[in-house]
């Protein structure tokens, strides 16, 4: 029995080393691949149409998330081109621009940005009569959001806190607005060579 335990120890140690090394490599990669050092590292977990889910490391503070949201607002005000921010076009066929409508939600738990989980949420929006289990899943999904940003033809906004998209009566789902603004000429979008 002792000999098996001794043989497993190096294997367990190697496995733990690989696991920890993988996490460090991912975190380091996120840190180095961010488009700007003044914002926290992030990665795009999933994207479905105009909805984009970002993943931040769990230790990211609210002020750091706010700096990222403000950067999205700055991009929205100037070029409205989110490609340098690692986001694929949300409206590639739209005559008004490749990012005419965009909604970004930010998580610090990567399980919510997994394609299967994200797809379940997106498909759940289209259900006419969601089950109690589906409603609970939607509330958990929205409750785990750390912040977000949206832009459309009329303006843009950014917030910190859970996302109350389902209009839940839960008072813990409160959004703290970072900014809310209309475009100078609502309906015409923003000036950009790509729009």
123 shares a domain with 90: yes
Give the domain range for residue 15: 1-33
Confidence of residue 193 (pLDDT cuts 50, 70, 90): very low
Q: Are residues 61 and 17 in the same domain?
A: no
Beta bridge partners of 176: 160
pLDDT band at 184 (very low <50, low <70, confident <90, very high): confident
Measured in degrees and rounded to the nearest 5, phi and psi for residue 82 equal -95, 5
Q: Is the pLDDT of residue 96 over 90?
A: no
The chain-wide mean pLDDT, for the chain, equals: 83
Confidence at residue 192, expressed as pLDDT on a 0 to 100 scale: 37
Q: What are phi and psi of 103, to 5 degrees?
A: -135, 120
In a domain, 195, yes or no: no
- pTM for the model stands at 0.73
CA-derived radius of gyration, the chain: 20
pLDDT value at position 67? 95
Beta partners for residue 47, in sequence order: 52
Could you tell me which residues are beta bridge partners of residue 106?
Answer: 54, 147
One domain, residues 60 and 149: yes
């Amino acid at each position: 029995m002792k000999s098996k335990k001794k043989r497993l120890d190096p294997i367990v140690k190697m496995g733990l080393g690989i696991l920890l090394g993988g996490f460090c490599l991912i975190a380091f990669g996120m840190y180095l691949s961010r488009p700007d050092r003044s914002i926290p590292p992030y990665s795009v977990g999933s994207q479905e149409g105009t909805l984009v889910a970002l993943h931040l490391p769990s230790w990211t503070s609210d002020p750091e998330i706010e700096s990222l949201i403000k950067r999205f607002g700055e991009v929205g005000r100037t070029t409205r081109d989110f490609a340098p921010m690692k986001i694929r076009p949300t409206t590639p066929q739209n005559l008004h621009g490749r990012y005419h409508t965009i909604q970004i939600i930010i998580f610090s738990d990567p399980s919510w940005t997994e394609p299967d989980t994200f797809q379940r949420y997106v498909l759940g929006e289209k259900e006419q009569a969601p089950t109690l289990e589906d409603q609970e899943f939607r509330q958990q999904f929205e409750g785990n959001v750390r912040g977000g940003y949206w832009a459309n033809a009329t303006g843009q906004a950014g917030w910190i806190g859970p996302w109350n998209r389902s209009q839940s009566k839960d008072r813990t789902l409160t959004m703290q607005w970072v900014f809310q603004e209309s475009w100078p000429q609502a309906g015409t979008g923003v000036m950009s060579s790509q729009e």
